[in-house]
Structure 1
Amino acid sequence: MKYLYLLLLLGISLTSCKKDGKETEEGIAYFGGEVINPSTNYVILLQANSVIDTFTLDSKNRFIYKLKNVSPGLYTFSHGGEIQMVLLEPNDSIMFRLNTMEFDESLVYTGAGAKKNNYLIDLFLNGEHEDQVVLGFSQLSPQIFEEKLDSLKELKLKKLKAFNSKQSPSELFIHLAESSIDIQYNLSKEVYPFVNYGNTERGNFESLPNNFYDYREKINYNDPYLVDYFPYSSFLKHHFENLALAKHFKSSKDSIYSKQSIEYNLVRLQIIDSLMTNENIKNSLLISATLEFISNNKNVDDYDKILNYFLNTSTNAQHKEYANKIVNSLKSLKSGNPLPDIVVFDISNKELNLKTVLGDKPCVIFFWSQSNMMRVQECHNKVDELKQKYPEITFIGINANNDNQDLWKKTLEKYKLNTENEFIFKNPKEAQQSLAIYPINKVIIVDKNGKIENSHSNMFSINFEEELLGVLNQ
């Protein structure tokens, strides 16, 4: 969800917003930071998907900003295709420091208001690590799984109580921290039927205790303070998947969860539309569900049914424009069509049309991003393995979210990646749209004649090597 959010931000204007009303010293806060290895020369501050301002980095890659009549709440700041959260309240003076090579993990806040933000960031990052622990619990029975989950939640609540007793934070912070703990707990329970390998999804649903989802009665679907909290959107996404699948099972004979089912996905959009009233959250969930269906379904004839429902329910004009363009791009990327004209740079800064680097052999084009360095290593390791098995195929890697050639080259050097057949887009935003690069782990397979074989493959799929053999045997 976080990376989809970033793609949508690319279309947002980078203009500043002016606030009306008399400025008061009591309502002032300061926000600034230092970016190491910047991928652009600016940082964007947003709240509820609206741009507050854009800050230009100075010669030392730093900035400082004075917020007048600050509205207490979570904000987000974006740099080079990556994004993170910050809680700002009156009288805060918060500075961050981060390295784009490890964006989230390197982020540290200092200054007045830093402790509460470092606590929230730790909750967020620990939640990501905790997912692996909970994944192991998910193979247990529902009762034992719930007991272990309760223990994790209780431990976090005790730590929060100790922090609050020392720091005396605001009611807003306490609400956000408690919500973060609840969301992680609830998310784990929503995901359980999908990751437990004991039965089919239908079987897992039917085996759950009657009170397993009792917490749903207390869900606030439209909490305005959680609009910019990434895990909240992730929880709602999985929650609505569950509700839609349960409803879908009642009217169908399906026993498994199919992301490609148009009936299921229409139900999912309908439930989001019926339960959400906060337009920012609702629109984000609608675009996420729509793009997820489109990205998992290779039948372009099904796109318009989902797209039309989305266009009739979303109130976000930019989301509508983006979804329309993605669908049109995917239709043009059908099997048998040539690639669109895309300009790239090679390691020597030579400007090339992507078509010209394909050569006369079948090609696999894969994409990577500075925002997920683990993926950079994983995909290149996989490519090295595939190169040994299939020397008749050319593998082309493209940095998809960045036009900073120096940072791109530093990344290649840092991870000791072979620079042959590595490229960077000249215009990332346009290229992402033309090639419909969502999600980032998609792979495009092209035959020896430069025609698209599959515009939406996955090199980690169990069927991927069968696809490669198929294109070689043509």
Structure 2
Amino acid sequence: MTRLLLLLTLLGVWSCQEPQQKNKPVSISGEIVNPTDPFVILYKGEQPIDSARLDEQNRFELRIDSLESGLYNFYHRPEFQYIYIEQGDSMQIRLNTVAFDESLVFSGSGEVVNNFLIDFFLESESEENLIREALVPMEPEAFSAKLDSLKVRNISQLEELNSEFPITEGAYHTAQASILYKDYYYREKYPFWHRKMIADAEGVHELPKDFYAYRSEVSYDDLSLTFLKPYHDFMVFHIGNLAYTSCKKACVIDKEEVRDQLHFNQHQLKLIDSLVTGDELRDNLFRTVAFDYLLKYDSEENLEVFMTDFLSRSENNRHFHEIEALSEAIRNLSPDQQLPELMVENSDGNLQSLQELAGTGPVVFYFWSGPQQHHLANITRRVRSLNEEYRDYRFVGICLRTEKARWKSMLASYSLDPENQYWAEDFENFAHTLVVYHPYKSIVAKDGKIVDGFANLNTSF
């Protein structure tokens, strides 16, 4: 929290909201360094609230007369981050898309809670690996004690911050929930992480009777937290954990493959239906289960059974058309199907279809994007290794979610062979048609037809 406390010391107290601010419009302005899109868009859940075009200095301003206090999403394609807004806020944002989250800084009214949230988000990202490596090997009692200490530290920091720079009750609730549900998430994950790290473990270890005591504090209907990442991440794994317990009692399972099996995912659907009441959270959790299962497609028969069960519990799901489109796209990527008629552009600006690129010899298509530079470095090393081992294959990279000029500059920066690199303009169409939801997703094709529509660069070769 050093960055946050220093910033607040320099800028002073902006968060003390005067009563008359409730009648003032909301103003959100700022600057984006190295923009990747001409616009910024503000979303409430999945609904766009307002948008603004960047000017010649890459600055923008959003002005909203009236809104409901709570979490919103600030979106600058292809990146987004949530932001807590209250009526009357006048906030400035500055970021650099090269390191979108790491460079994001808020100033003005509302800065206290938003800088806390972004700092906690970044801290949690680096913290998870440390927890897995240092704490997960511990026995349950020791693990819980360490997490208790971490939670107390984080809550104390929030309380100290609130004492010096008071924030509203709603803002405090959101910040506190970030801490608590991240803590709950680690506790839900622990038995499965621990089992994997202990080679001779059989099943999930027996836990102390009070290990899941925090579950009595879980809210399944807190609408204000629906789009808060720690809350959503917890709910996803919590439902899966409960489903695993149900499966152990009611089903014959292979513990290594249970999450891929139809009956396990049906347990998840049943639990969401019985526990979760908020419409948006229900729909989002149903969608998560559907995507996770469909992307592990095993048979047409099971797909139909799953979809029938899904529809019986979530008939009016707002994501239904997306889920239906995914199931159809999966069928279209079956072996011996023709590659979809999608066009890509080479470094000379010439268009070619995927079928043309796979016209002779076996081809492996893989995907990357400019903002995910760590992933690009990893995937580049992997492809160079595969090129040495599979000399009969042509490995073709397709860049998504990146401006053309930036893509071209990255070819040189990463020493990528322009002959085997292509750029796709329509990310949404590519992602949906080719089911690009995994970072190492690849497609093996030959003679314009699909050999394996769901290959993985790390595990399939």
Q: Same fold (TM over 0.5)?
A: yes
The answer for the alignment partner of 1:332 in structure 2 is 332
The higher relative CO (CA closer than 8 Å, separation ≥ 6) is in 1
The answer for the alignment partner of 1:19 in structure 2 is none
Q: How does 1:153-172 map to 2 (within 5 A)?
A: 153-172=151-170
Matched AA of 2:132 = L
Matching of residue 223 in structure 1 with residue 222 in structure 2:
yes
Question: 2:113 touches 2:172 (CA, 8 Å); kept in 1?
Answer: no
Question: 2:113 touches 2:175 (CA, 8 Å); kept in 1?
Answer: no
Question: 2:112 touches 2:167 (CA, 8 Å); kept in 1?
Answer: no
SS in structure 1 of the partner of residue 419 of structure 2: coil
Cα gap change, 1:185 to 1:253, in 2 (>3 Å): same
Cα gap change, 1:419 to 1:99, in 2 (>3 Å): farther
Q: Distance in 2 between matches of 1:232 and 1:361?
A: 47
Q: Distance in 1 between matches of 2:125 and 2:391?
A: 37
Q: How does 1:30-429 map to 2 (within 5 A)?
A: 30-136=27-133, 137-196=135-194, 197=196, 203-258=202-257, 259-314=259-314, 318-402=318-402, 404-429=403-428
Q: Distance in 2 between matches of 1:401 and 1:311?
A: 32
Instruction: Please state how far the C-alpha of 1:248 moved relative to its aligned partner.
Output: 0.6
Instruction: Please state how far the C-alpha of 1:420 moved relative to its aligned partner.
Output: 2.9
Question: 1:201 touches 1:255 (CA, 8 Å); kept in 2?
Answer: no
Cα gap change, 1:322 to 1:184, in 2 (>3 Å): same
Cα gap change, 1:216 to 1:409, in 2 (>3 Å): same
Instruction: Please state how far the C-alpha of 1:397 moved relative to its aligned partner.
Output: 1.0
Cα gap change, 1:36 to 1:322, in 2 (>3 Å): same
Gaps spanning 5+ residues in structure 2: where? 1-19
The answer for the alignment partner of 1:14 in structure 2 is none
Q: Distance in 2 between matches of 1:277 and 1:176?
A: 19
The answer for the alignment partner of 2:16 in structure 1 is none
Greater alpha carbon shift after TM alignment, 159-168 vs 302-311: 302-311
SS in structure 1 of the partner of residue 335 of structure 2: coil
Question: 1:344 touches 1:423 (CA, 8 Å); kept in 2?
Answer: yes
Aligned residues: 439
Matched AA of 1:399 = C
Instruction: Please state how far the C-alpha of 1:194 moved relative to its aligned partner.
Output: 2.0
Instruction: Please state how far the C-alpha of 1:369 moved relative to its aligned partner.
Output: 2.6
Q: Distance in 1 between matches of 2:120 and 2:231?
A: 13
Question: 2:355 touches 2:449 (CA, 8 Å); kept in 1?
Answer: no
Q: Distance in 2 between matches of 1:298 and 1:368?
A: 26
Gaps spanning 5+ residues in structure 1: where? 1-22, 466-474
Instruction: Please state how far the C-alpha of 1:359 moved relative to its aligned partner.
Output: 4.5
Q: Distance in 1 between matches of 2:186 and 2:200?
A: 15
Question: 2:192 touches 2:204 (CA, 8 Å); kept in 1?
Answer: no
Question: 1:102 touches 1:373 (CA, 8 Å); kept in 2?
Answer: no
The answer for the alignment partner of 1:12 in structure 2 is none
SS in structure 2 of the partner of residue 195 of structure 1: helix
Structure 1 vs Structure 2 CA RMSD: 2.2
Instruction: Please state how far the C-alpha of 1:88 moved relative to its aligned partner.
Output: 0.7
Instruction: Please state how far the C-alpha of 1:316 moved relative to its aligned partner.
Output: 5.3
The answer for the alignment partner of 1:468 in structure 2 is none
SS in structure 2 of the partner of residue 392 of structure 1: coil
Greater alpha carbon shift after TM alignment, 241-250 vs 167-176: 167-176
